[in-house]
Chains A and B, each alone.
Chain A
Amino acid sequence: MTGRKGQPLIEVQELEKIYRLGEVEVQALRGVSLTVDRGEFVAVMGPSGSGKSTLMNILGFLDQPTHGQYLLEGINGEHLSRDEQAEIRNKKIGFVFQGFNLLARTSALENVELPLIYARISGAKRKEMARKALSEVGLEARGHHHPSQLSGGEQQRVAIARALVNHPSILLADEPTGNLDSRTSIEVMEIFQHLNRDLGITIIMITHEQDIALFAKRNIHFRDGRIVEDRENKSRVIKEGTKR
């Protein structure tokens, strides 16, 4: 594991999240405590409804916990305004979603540029950074294609490039291979391992597939809003991806 630089990257203490669906209260998180250091590659597993997506939303500053504390690089999201949260998402967090969530009728390059637009990075520099991120996922040649002209795997790689382009502290992936076949899933995992190993990017990935989780360094299991298992992945699959 990568050495600690004093403070852990992510520090979560006794997180609770209660949703109100009409009359019914749903407790999605029931006291989750977790520490993630820089350079880790964590797979979060668990059946649907176990609270892993809720955790992801909180870790991604998209949602606030009902109780408990969450620190990202020492920043407490509790009292931040919507816009301040947006700024943290923009600067420190990269999202990869199951459904890719690319803008349709917008080229791959422009999709990758999107976070930079909101970071107020202008013209030429923005293009340059976006191109670099695309080449990191091996798609430099397809920058002008629209999502509809790309395969699922390629679309997900564009989404990964978009998540990387701002040099975030952490990459949050929610079922990144959920819409992909097993071959492209492995391709995406190769990219994740490359980013983690060669660029030192911290990754937290939700998945319910055991074989995908095996690509991570650490596996966390969720059940009923609690962590039931948190262990180092001894049987890790390592893909020596082609040099990118």
Chain B
Amino acid sequence: MTTFLSGLLVALRALMVNKMRSALTMLGIIIGVAAVIAMVAVGLGAQSRIEEQIASMGSNLLMVVPGSFTSGGMRFGAGTRSTLTVEDAKAIATEIPGVKYTAPSTFGSVQVVFGNQNWATEAQGTTPELLEIRNWSIASGRPFTVQDLEGSAKVCILGNTLVENLFGGIDPVGQIVRIKKFPFTVIGVLEPKGQSGMGRDQDDIVFVPLTTAQRRLFGRDLPGTVRQISVQARGPEVLKEVEEQIKDLLRQRHHILPNQDDDFTVRNLTEIMGTIEQTGKVMSLLLASIASISLIVGGIGIMNIMLVSVTERTREIGIRIAVGAKGRDILFQFLIESLVLGLIGGILGIGIGIVGTLVLSHFTEWPTLFSVKAILLAFLFSGSVAVFFGFYPARKASLLNPIEALRYE
């Protein structure tokens, strides 16, 4: 221990002699550690934002959409057939115990007009349950009622994007907007949700009662059919099971023979978001690895300087060997020196990484999240890199021939 401490003192003194050089050598490690910390913070921040988005989408969500429509050998892709009905949605809700809510909906593009303003958006005709399923709350006004649905009332609930674009500061609740020439009373405004995990603006939407949408807006659909059924399961553990049960139930209701394909598709959105989350994790891992490369480059800088230092101090090494330093004494001396370089660089790097991340997140408004684990790991890594790259110069020093070393000018 005393050997280590005195070695530490010798190393510190040697580093102090060449302050500028030591600082520049450390810079490589400093940048590396700072980069790792900043990148991990940015990656984790992005990940936590994805998690928020998943929560905003509504939890334990399944989407049922009709199958593809085939005409003359041409298939039109998922959702083009009109095979799902309101009754399907009701059946799913009543017959599958794992289901909490279902909400059938139909949707299409519309132009919403208020006064002299207009805005193209998506109109979604649905039932009151959808807001529950999507975890969506009303900012002002009221949600749909069963009466609105049964009476095909011409009422609508606006997303925040429409409010901003159509109503310049006017309270929209109670105002009349025109959708496809029909007047609709605004009964509520939704809380903003921001972008979805797929990058879509979730607030650019207007909700109307399903029956109203079917009769007034999208009359082309067969009566009673819907373009989508949103299903919320009671918990994440029954999600898979509910998905299978929906498939069985719908096959049975649609009279599909065992050798025929489904005429609908069940999408497990939670699973899809899980994949996105996974992608986010891979991204932050990638960022951290790229940053680690700069740490390794910093290590090469240490090796470079230690090689120069060994050459410069050949005579000193010769003296030490002549008075009885063993190979490992010299080896440790130089290893400790590079370790000190690495660890001091690591500590400074942590400071600069944290400050840099805060500055970055202040100016870019990116979400960032520090991980103590990543910081400790970067610090340990900087030490290991220093020892790894310090080993070759240290070994070179320990193997010097004392006679030649003493003669070195």
Could you say which interface size class chain A belongs to?
20 to 34
Choose from A63, A90, A104, A105 the contact partner of B323 (Cβ within 8 Å): A90
B405 shortest CB reach to chain A, Å = 10
The reply to whether A114 and B2 contact each other, CB–CB distance below 8 Å, is no
The reply to whether B316 and A82 contact each other, CB–CB distance below 8 Å, is no
Q: A102 to B322: give the CA distance in the assembly, Å.
A: 12
Residue B321 interfacial (CB < 8 Å): yes
Residue A117 interfacial (CB < 8 Å): yes
Q: Residue-by-residue, is A127-144 near B (CB-CB < 8 Å gives 1, otherwise 0)?
A: 000000000000000000
Q: Which residues of chain B from 156 to 184 have any CB-CB distance to chain A below 8 Å in the complex?
A: none
Q: A95 to B13: give the CA distance in the assembly, Å.
A: 25
Residue B194 interfacial (CB < 8 Å): no
The reply to whether A89 and B324 contact each other, CB–CB distance below 8 Å, is yes
Q: Which residues of chain B from 105 to 127 have any CB-CB distance to chain A below 8 Å in the complex?
A: none
The reply to whether A82 and B327 contact each other, CB–CB distance below 8 Å, is yes
The reply to whether A114 and B323 contact each other, CB–CB distance below 8 Å, is yes
Residue A162 interfacial (CB < 8 Å): yes
The reply to whether B17 and A162 contact each other, CB–CB distance below 8 Å, is no
How many A-B pairs fall under 8 Å by CB?
A: 58
Residue A215 interfacial (CB < 8 Å): no
Q: Given A101-B315, A101-B406, A123-B2, check contact A83 B327 (CB 8 Å).
A: yes
Could you say which interface size class chain B belongs to?
20 to 34
B315 shortest CB reach to chain A, Å = 7
A97 and chain B: residue at smallest CB distance: B406
The reply to whether B6 and A117 contact each other, CB–CB distance below 8 Å, is yes
Q: A103 to B315: give the CA distance in the assembly, Å.
A: 9
Q: Given A83-B327, A101-B315, A122-B2, check contact A89 B13 (CB 8 Å).
A: no
Choose from A86, A102, A106 the contact partner of B324 (Cβ within 8 Å): A86
A190 shortest CB reach to chain B, Å = 24
B11 shortest CB reach to chain A, Å = 13
Q: A63 to B401: give the CA distance in the assembly, Å.
A: 9
Q: Residue-by-residue, is B370-409 near A (CB-CB < 8 Å gives 1, otherwise 0)?
A: 0000000000000000000000000000000011001000
Q: Residue-by-residue, is A82-100 near B (CB-CB < 8 Å gives 1, otherwise 0)?
A: 1100110111000101000
Q: Residue-by-residue, is B305-345 near A (CB-CB < 8 Å gives 1, otherwise 0)?
A: 00000000001101111111111110000000000000000
Residue B3 interfacial (CB < 8 Å): yes
The reply to whether A62 and B324 contact each other, CB–CB distance below 8 Å, is no
List of 6 A-B pairs having minimum Cβ-Cβ separation, nearest first: A90-B324, A118-B324, A115-B323, A83-B326, A86-B326, A118-B325
Instruction: List 18 additional contacts besides A89-B323, A114-B319; criterion CB under 8 Å.
Output: A60-B322, A62-B402, A82-B327, A83-B326, A83-B327, A86-B324, A86-B325, A86-B326, A91-B324, A101-B319, A102-B319, A104-B316, A114-B323, A117-B6, A118-B320, A118-B324, A118-B329, A162-B323
